Amino acid sequence: MTEIQNSIETDALVIGGGIAGLQAAIDLANMGLRVTVIERQPSIGGKMIGLSKVFPTLDCCSCICTPRMAEAKHHPNITTMTYAEVQHVHRDDSGFLVEVLKKPRYVDEDKCTGCRLCEYACTTEVPHEFEGGLGARKAIYIPFANAVPQVALLDLDNCLLCGRCAKACPTGAIDFLQDPKTIVFRAGAIIVATGYEMLPHNFKENYGAGPLRNVLTALQVERLLAPHGPYGRVLRPSDGRVPQSIGYVQCVGSRDLSRGVAYCSRVCCMYAIKQAMLLSGALPLAEITIYYMDIRAFGKGYEQFYQNAKAMGIQFVKAKVAKIREDEEENPVVRIELLDEDGRVEERQHDMVVLSLGLVPGWNPREAGLGAPSEDGFLRCGHVLSSPTQTAEEGVFVAGCAGGPKDIPDSVVQAGAAALEAAAYLRARGWASAARDGHHRKAALISGD
């Protein structure tokens, strides 16, 4: 049963609480505007909070992302609403009416202290989505170590309905009878920061199609390299062995017309180089080979980063990978065509292979009535040169990968620009910051975050 709340006014609604959405929200809020951030996952932070370190500086991701998450959560002008999805956007004379579905966590967000006693009491373990399935979580769990908010959620699909969590909870926060809620926001402007998804593991059936246990996606390797990762160190999933030979396959899905993904995903060259460097640090004896078509190191400091990787002994082999199979010990074997050796074909065995999968849109704006996306599936933009964050829809702006693949520095720059354009738009339309204190506090109360 869905309960419908009265509409709540906010100056700008940001769809997506990843690094781009949070940056846009913080910039708008610092201009004195009231912002609501809607995030479909149980924590804000997006993809970035799951990464290990960032290129080209090798800064720790958590060290950059966590303060942004905390700032958005505690900013007096920002309301964050997690585990919530935008259902529909209607336009009227004054702005937008946005219907948001708040999914039940079966945990009272005001009462939960994040102590995790429920998690320890629960006896059901399933692969953890946040760890790319490599680690385990319980049926009731805090999304991850530095999640914001630190509030548990119950995965009803995997729950034994034993009630142990409720007995263990010291604050009586478990609410088995929570229902989904629909909340309607009235907003003057919208910033879409819905990010990307990585192509699925089984995207290319001749690259192992998922069942090859030691063929991982680049995002899974981010988790292996992260300080709170699923294994606490780099091990391969089939048997827990320390891998001594790791191969990277570039352009899996990107620039592949046969798969309908014509564009370059822009980040794969650099994240592969970064991971290779981090792996050489974690596994000093390991041999790391990157099979590539061409290396696109276009950003500030990127070419130097690439040259440093070569100097560290990471092997770059210009080759096309036709096929990946595994031998009887589950070692992946890549069949490659060596482009610098007249197309000679050979097979090379590794302990682990990583697929640098391309990026696809995280959300289709048409689902919410926000117009059709462009041919590549990302948000359609209006004037790329004169108004780079304006979409084809008036009053709707774009930040980060929602408009196309981008690295983190570019996403943050675009988020700042989107915030400024949205603020200018609201001012030009004479939008009175209607979501004054009373309204805003009400929004905060209802979101419970």
Partner 1 sequence: MSEVTPTSHAAREKKPIEILRERVGGASREVVERNRRQMANRRQIMDSLKAAPKTAPEIAKETGLPTHEVFWHLMAMKKYGKVVEGAERGDYFEYALVEMPERKGTES
Name the site residues for partner 1 (rule: CB under 8 A).
1, 3, 108, 120, 123-125, 127, 134-136, 156-163, 166, 175-179, 213, 230-232, 235, 237-242, 244, 448
What's the min distance (Å) between Cβ of 50 and partner 1?
Answer: 16
Q: Considering the complex, state which of residue 243 and residue 403 has its C-beta at the smaller distance from partner 1.
A: 243
What's the min distance (Å) between Cβ of 223 and partner 1?
Answer: 12
- At residue 126, the 3 state secondary structure works out as strand
What's the min distance (Å) between Cβ of 15 and partner 1?
Answer: 24
Q: Considering the complex, state which of residue 109 and residue 421 has its C-beta at the smaller distance from partner 1.
A: 109
Q: Give CA–CA dist 395/189, Å, rounded.
A: 5
What's the min distance (Å) between Cβ of 83 and partner 1?
Answer: 14
Q: Considering the complex, state which of residue 351 and residue 393 has its C-beta at the smaller distance from partner 1.
A: 351
Q: Helices 218-225 & 268-282, crossing angle to 10 degrees?
A: 40
Going by the DSSP 8-state scheme, the letter that residue 38 receives in this structure is: E
Q: Considering the complex, state which of residue 120 and residue 298 has its C-beta at the smaller distance from partner 1.
A: 120
Amino acid in position 148: V
Query: Which of 284, 209, 221 lies closest to 247, judged by CA?
Result: 221
Q: Considering the complex, state which of residue 240 and residue 430 has its C-beta at the smaller distance from partner 1.
A: 240
Q: Considering the complex, state which of residue 240 and residue 284 has its C-beta at the smaller distance from partner 1.
A: 240
What's the min distance (Å) between Cβ of 109 and partner 1?
Answer: 9
Q: Considering the complex, state which of residue 105 and residue 274 has its C-beta at the smaller distance from partner 1.
A: 105
Contact status, residue 184 vs residue 97, Cβ threshold 8 Å: yes
The string of DSSP codes covering 362-428 is S--GGGGTS----TTSSPPEEETTTEEEEESSTTEEE-GGGGS---HHHHHHHHHHHHHHHHHHHHH
Spatial neighbors of 163 by CB under 8 A, at least 6 apart, are none
What's the min distance (Å) between Cβ of 297 and partner 1?
Answer: 33
Q: Give CA–CA dist 302/296, Å, rounded.
A: 9
What's the min distance (Å) between Cβ of 379 and partner 1?
Answer: 34
Paired sense of beta strands 181-192 and 8-15, if any? parallel
Q: Which long-range contacts (CB under 8 A, 24 or more apart) does 158-166 make?
A: 158/124, 158/126, 159/124, 160/123, 160/124, 162/123, 164/121, 164/122, 164/123, 165/118, 165/119, 165/121, 165/122, 165/140, 166/118
Q: Give CA–CA dist 189/424, Å, rounded.
A: 10
- At residue 78, the 3 state secondary structure works out as strand
Q: Considering the complex, state which of residue 166 and residue 317 has its C-beta at the smaller distance from partner 1.
A: 166
What's the min distance (Å) between Cβ of 239 and partner 1?
Answer: 4
What's the min distance (Å) between Cβ of 445 and partner 1?
Answer: 11
Q: Considering the complex, state which of residue 380 and residue 442 has its C-beta at the smaller distance from partner 1.
A: 442
Paired sense of beta strands 245-252 and 287-292, if any? parallel
Query: Which of 320, 323, 311 lies closest to 276, judged by CA?
Result: 311
